[in-house]
Amino acid sequence: MGPEANLFKRGDIVAVIIVPGCAEADCSECVSGLPQLCRQGPRYGGGQDGFFAPYVKVTERAAIKLPPNVSVAAGAVATDACMTAYHAVVGRARVTRGETVLIFGLGGLGFNALQIALHLGARVIVSDKRQAVLNEAKRIGVRDEDIVSPDTEEIGEWIRNREVRVDKAIDFVSVPATFSAATDSVRLGGTVVSVGLLSSELNIATSKMVRRELTILGSYAGTISDVKACLDLISQGHLVPQVEEGSMGDFPTILEDLHHGKFKGRIVLIPDNDV
């Protein structure tokens, strides 16, 4: 620890946010509360080499001490899949109790978003092409009537036929089909938040956006406050991230398995020597 570090003591277990921002007074992004968009500060593991090493050096403001009952694996996932989901649900969509939210994609991000939205008291409708993850959504509290069958072709029509008023749609896939379904499904004056990066371009008819007065938002990563909130939710048992552990020595094999979609959540690599 450097001589100016005073928030932690030797031996503390911390999670590290990827983009903490530069925190300079002349940085418009950091001053605006958008440090994840800062181009001047460090990028730990996201554009900066060396973060698969056993030890790394980070600025103190990028670290968050783990609560005693949060595992190292869950703490690692909190800085990515949990933080990004929380920022989309709370920071961008601003989901509140009693609202109806439609979530597209129940991968590592979407499944965390589902849990967060349920905890906030929202009714959540879920759409995914994999029946297994839809079954998992049912297990944690999504009602049968709020699960869109994988073979449903027109989700907007499915919503209207059930006379459901969708306030917010959060798209963790963001391909033309899901984005179109999201904009078709929300109510007049509704909000669509796009999080996924699977498509390089998404389109919407001007008349649909203007005449229905839709709010279209992007959501990227999150802030250290989001990470802290996620760690609190995990500590309290309200958020249980899907995470599997692997050995750093198996990194090449794990990358190959990841490429072929063999993991349903996130994978945390544990250094072979110790944690």
Helices (H) and strands (E) in the chain, counts: 10, 10
Averaged over 200-216, what is the pLDDT?
98
pLDDT at 132: 94
Contact in structure between 46 and 248 (CB atoms under 8 Å):
no
- Structure tokens that stand for 97 in this block: 């109790």
E strands, 30-139, where? 63-65, 100-104, 123-127
To 5 degrees, how large is the angle CA 168–CA 174–CA 176? Answer: 105
CA distance 94 to 217: 11
Contact in structure between 184 and 156 (CB atoms under 8 Å):
yes
pLDDT at 275: 46
| Share of residues in the chain with pLDDT > 70 (%) | 99
Which domains occur in the chain, in start order?
14-82+223-270 (3.90.180.10), 102-218 (3.40.50.720)
pLDDT at 274: 55
- pLDDT higher than 90, residue 273: no
pTM of the entire structure? 0.95
Query: Average pLDDT, whole number, for the chain?
Result: 95
Averaged over 163-176, what is the pLDDT?
98
Distances (CA, A) of 38 to 24, 201, 223, 250, 272: 10, 23, 11, 33, 34
What are the pLDDT digits (tens) for 93-114?
999 999 999 999 999 999 999 9
What are the pLDDT digits (tens) for 1-38?
888 889 999 999 999 999 999 999 999 999 999 999 99
Higher pLDDT residue, 269 or 228? 228
